[in-house]
Amino acid sequence: MSVLHLLGTAGEGGAETYFLDLVAALAADGVEQAAAIRANANREAALEQLRVPTGVFRFGGPIDLLTRRKLAGFAQKTQVRLALAWMNRAARHAPKGPWARIGRLGGYYNLKYYRGFDELVANTEDIADWVVAQGWPAGKVRYIPNFALAPPDTPPADRAELQTPEDAPLLLAMGRLHEVKAHDVALEALTHVPEAYLWIAGAGGLETKLKAMAQALGVASRVRFLGWRNDPSALYRAADISVFPSRYEPLGNVVIQSWAHGLPVVAAASQGPAALIRHEEDGLLVPIDDAQALAAAINRLIADPMLCIRMVQQGSERVEGQFSPGAVVAQWRQLFADYGAA
């Protein structure tokens, strides 16, 4: 009996990274799994290393009539008892069969793709409440958060390799180069934090625009565009402050990852971070699209090491109690057991 993960996206992003993290954590806990994914060399190699049986499928658009049938055959071959669809594209192709179908929601998705599913799992309480408000039965929705993982043996990234002084305050901004991530706000804030350097880790269509903005603002010499990175822990360990100015963020994985890595965090008060962060206790919240407020919060943390230490301690306690792999895997185990899949 096994759990079949369905992931229909080909690119890289926070959900795709967490997909591998969860599969790895479940494998370490002895959960029998299989994976059906869209072609992606990095994920295929990672799943092979985890010894998770994996099939690669097209997961095409509305005219793709073959993927669902092929997935059904793969599910039967791997003796699946539960199919877990990650996001809309996977849900659209999730085949019916003698297995439960569960949707995993990391945002306010169009629920039409999940009609006929046995249950939905939301990674924030607000998303779970929203699903119920759309008419979904409350008894068929549960909240299971993401966990944060900080491998203890990961060394910090080498600042010298990225032309960053060892003694400079280093800000880390993680996320796609997209309008919603508000990297432009971080760049503007940097003009008011004259000693700091900023690493931006992420890929996307705004790279040229953001680099031009950095030049126009006069901060390009203190900004490093890192592209997509497969070593986020090394980046967290090298930085001094996590900066998360997203305009829209249902959860905010960066927040809990910052806590896990002992990094103080400043975030815009978008939906996810505002629900996670206890302002002045385990992080600082600033208004959305307010570069001066973001800069003021950053400068405050730079000037007050004791405040940073207190927030890091509080964040670590939050991870241990709510967002550790053990706590989250136990909740998934319970769900699987409810459907006879564990």
Which residues does the chain have with pLDDT short of 70?
Answer: 1
Question: Measured between alpha carbons, how far is 237 from 234 in angstroms, rounded to an integer?
Answer: 5
The arrangement of secondary structure in 160-322, i.e. its CATH architecture, is 3-Layer(aba) Sandwich (3.40)
Instruction: Tell me which residue of 195, 193, 325, 303 sits closest to 256, measured CA to CA.
Output: 325
Contact 196, 168 (CB under 8 A): yes
Q: Would you state the pLDDT for residue 14?
A: 83
Sequence-distant (≥ 6) Cβ neighbours of residue 67 within 8 angstroms: 57, 58, 59, 60, 93
Fold topology of 2-147+324-338: Rossmann fold (3.40.50)
Distances, alpha carbon 312 to alpha carbons 43, 80, 148, 183, 259, in Å: 32, 41, 14, 24, 6
Do 2-147+324-338 and 160-322 fold alike per CATH? yes
The tens digit of pLDDT for each residue in 19-28 reads 999 999 999 9
Residue spans of the domains in the chain: they are 2-147+324-338, 160-322
pTM equals 0.86
